Chain A
Amino acid sequence: MRKAIPLVIGFVTGTFMFVQFFVPHEAGEYGYKLLLDWVQIISAFAMILGLASLFHSNWEKVRRRRRDYGYSVVTLVAFVFMVYVGLFRPGEPVQPRGWVYGRDSQGAVGRWDRELGREDQFSLLIESDQDTGHGSWSNHGTGWQVNWGRVPVMARCPYEVSVYCRAQPAGGPVAALEVSYVDERGEPLPREHPRVEAKPDTADWQQLKVPTKAPEGAAEMHIKLSATGRGKVWFDDLGIRQTEGMASISPPNPKFDQPERLPTIRKLADTEDGSGFKWLFDNVLVPLDATMFSLLAFFMASAAYRTFRARTPEATVLLVVAVIIMLGRVPLGELIHKQFPELCEWFMMVPTVAARRGILFGVALGSIATSLRIILGIERSHLGGS
């Protein structure tokens, strides 16, 4: 019974797959996809076994202090670290570049919405489940964040700041746009902050506009987008227009579509910001892969040297053909003789293809015969018996 059941499964599945190849009906394709889904499910469980095997084999080496166990220590540390990075995704960007969620927020949560936007998929969102909840996004962070969101202005110059907003539920939370100024030292200027607020609609984006004039001594503009009340408010497409003169001003990341960029150390350590997983992939795995792959060039040279030593008639033929191919593939070959590239092409297209086709015929027949003897249960060595 222990061998009969796998043989029956092998026969039924193998026969179905053979028949399905000749059936155009959707039912055949459905069965094929169903089997592929099963393979994926089994693979997922097998991956758990694989990871357990990797951990166990290296752990045993370290525990028993076997020879070269230091390599296993490195493997285990990398294993645990990558599991942490992969599962908890430290460094997943959670806010757009140049914008920070205000520390004065109470009873509300601000997040970078990457699914809903006015013209794209990005916007700022403030969400609260309390009637008194209040949250705000602003472009004036602290420390390293200051530079990204900076909006330099000219003193005594009039501006118009605008932003689009929408809310859920309609007419629920109040959205507000507020503008203030600081001097060159970053000190706030004592002046009334121009502000506009509205209860935006749900169906469409509504524009808030604030006309303002930079006071004497102003060096930078601070913009604050806030929401008060129960519900959700989205902000998108910030605009700053100089209402007099020709000079234009570009607000920081006005569509909120660029992710925050953080220093490398923070990416790996911080669970809030950055993109640690991708950073590790791009800066560790890809270079290591490229390093291993580049070894191929050196191994190819050493293998070619060994093979092309003209010790036997076959090796001599190989050497001659290899020289023709190499010369035919570089401009020097054409300079030596015009026929070199054509001769090279002939070798590649006629004898090489003929030999490859011969091998492929054999491979096709061999694979059919192997499949046949497994499907029909003639081959049983994988089940522990001939």
Chain B
Amino acid sequence: MTTIRCLRVIVALTAVLLGSTFLSPAGAQGKGPDANQPPPPPPPPPGPTAVQVSANPEDKRGNELRVTWQEPTEAPPAGLNLAGYTIYLLEGPFREGRKQKPPKRQELLVRPERLEATVSDLKPWRDYRVAVAAVYVPVGEELMPDPVVPSAAANEGARESEPVASETLSPAGKWFKREMSNVLVISLLYSVIVLLTIGLARRRDMYVRPIAGLRAVDDAIGRATEMGRPILYIAGLSGIGDIATIASMLILGHLSKRTAAYETPVLVPCLDPLVMSVEREIVREAHLEAGKPESYNPDNIFYVTDSQFGYVAAVDGIMLRQRPAANFYMGAFFAESLILAETGSTTGAIQIAGTDSDTQLPFFITACDYTLMGEELYAASAYLSRDPLLLAQLKGQDLGKVLLFVMLLVGLVLVGFTTGPGEWFLKLLEAKGG
């Protein structure tokens, strides 16, 4: 019995020892405490609240968004102070259950007193979300932007909350420059006047004052035909995008139609190959229109160079060697105008010039027989065509000038003799931007 009792005591002690071993907290986990294991990371500090994104009212181009937020509601972690906010840009809408793309870029680092920011350089109509994270630095320190990445904090021990993302929004932008309303109104008003005069022209004839330079075109063609010499036509030194060059090409069309009947060659040296290509088409069409397609020679319209004075040298050479009977200078001109016109003058050719370059007009007036000044260059095509609809447009231009003159008078009176209305009038006509 004694032996059995001893065995029971031993079993009971063993059970107690084993039980104390397995039921202890460490034993319940199956392993003992590890001194080398790093402590779990502290919970992230509190983030901002009420993050909302909206269109920037100042954004005209459609590439900005404005984000607003509120301060964190919870107190900052011990030993840290709220030092600012980091703004992140997230591209694309948020989709539940899908892994969100990483932030496209870290946008801004702003001071804690600011509760709004503008994110720029965005693409119109693309979906964006903006996320804001609170940045904390140790107590007693100030937020220091990183010298390499200014949108990141450089403070040692700085911590950032989880970013709080806004709803999805696309930048909108504006579709009208309100500050240019006056320009739009005046442009439309003038266009309506021109169109009304064209409409009136269908019902009655209109008188158009004679322009001496354009009446001399027939004389110049006749002279060249009689002398058996070519006509030289310079369409200015500007490109196809200049309205003066376009006006010049329209004049060339009329001139070519008239010369085609007499088979008088028109030499057109070109500075711009694009202008050359268009002029060839215009002259070819003019010859077809005149019923003389066989007299069209594309070699008469040729490219020379795009160098300003290289072009002048080539044209001067043509003038001196081929001795054209008439020289036409129509379009935009620069410093070369006098060199061309004076050389042409020495050859004894009839010279007709037309330009909207006001600085070159004195040179042409001096050296040419006839000069179309400013708007007359644009009127020339209508004048030469004798088309009532186009001539009516000249009336529209005159009415436009009357309108401008009235505005000048009103402005003179208001600005000269009144203060308030004068300032209002100046403000009304002031064009901002363009």
Contact = CB atoms under 8 A, between A and B. Distances in A.
**Binding between chains A and B:** yes
A25 B356 contact: no
- The A interface is mostly helix, strand or loop, or mixed, namely helix
Interface in B254-311: 254, 270, 272-274, 276-278, 282, 284-286, 288-289, 299, 301-305, 307-310
Contact of A381 (B250, B312, B404): B250
Interface string B234-269: 000000110110110110011000000000000000
Given A60-B299, A289-B308, A369 B194 contact: yes
Interface string A46-81: 111111011011001000000110010000000000
Interface stretch (A123-131, A167-175, A254-262, A359-367): A359-367
Contacts, number: 212
B397 A369 contact: yes
Nearest to A295: B339
Interface stretch (B81-89, B98-106, B171-179, B418-426): B171-179
A288 B285 CA distance: 38
Nearest to A378: B389
Interface in B294-353: 299, 301-305, 307-310, 312-313, 317, 321, 335, 338-339, 342-343
Contact of A371 (B243, B288, B363, B389): B243
Contacts of A300: 338
A43 interface: yes
Contacts of A293: 309, 335
Contact of B299 (A25, A57, A303): A57
A24 B374 contact: no
Contacts of A54: 302-305
A379 interface: yes
B94 interface: no
A191 interface: no
- The B interface is mostly helix, strand or loop, or mixed, namely helix
B177 A23 contact: yes
A378 B393 contact: yes
B276 A53 contact: yes
A307 B368 CA distance: 11
A47 B126 CA distance: 39
Contact of B374 (A53, A359, A384): A359
Contact of B378 (A27, A51, A285, A369): A369
Interface residues of B, number: 88
B276 A361 contact: no
Interface in B392-433: 393, 396-397, 400-401, 404
A51 B272 CA distance: 11
A379 B61 contact: no
Nearest to A30: B124
Given A22-B184, A299-B338, A362 B401 contact: yes
Interface in A197-234: none
Contacts of B183: 22
A157 interface: no
Nearest to B385: A386
A155 interface: no
A189 interface: no
B377 interface: yes
A220 B132 CA distance: 67
A53 B352 CA distance: 27
A26 B173 contact: yes
A296 B339 contact: yes
B390 interface: yes
A46 B303 CA distance: 10
B338 A303 contact: yes
Contact of B277 (A24, A46, A56, A303): A46
A21 B400 contact: no
B315 to A, nearest CB: 11
Contacts of B141: none
B303 A25 contact: no
B175 A23 contact: yes
Contacts of A371: 243
A109 interface: no
Interface in B186-241: 187, 190-191, 194-195, 198, 240-241
A25 B60 contact: yes
Contacts of B390: 373, 378-379, 386
B187 A368 contact: yes
Contacts of B180: 21-22
B307 A289 contact: yes
Interface string A135-163: 00000000000000000000000000000
Given A50-B273, A54-B304, A299-B338, 4 more contacts: A289-B307, A361-B401, A378-B393, A384-B286
24 contacts: A22-B183, A24-B175, A24-B176, A27-B62, A27-B124, A50-B276, A53-B303, A68-B321, A288-B309, A292-B309, A296-B335, A299-B339, A307-B366, A359-B361, A365-B401, A366-B379, A367-B378, A368-B191, A372-B191, A379-B382, A382-B253, A384-B285, A385-B285, A386-B385
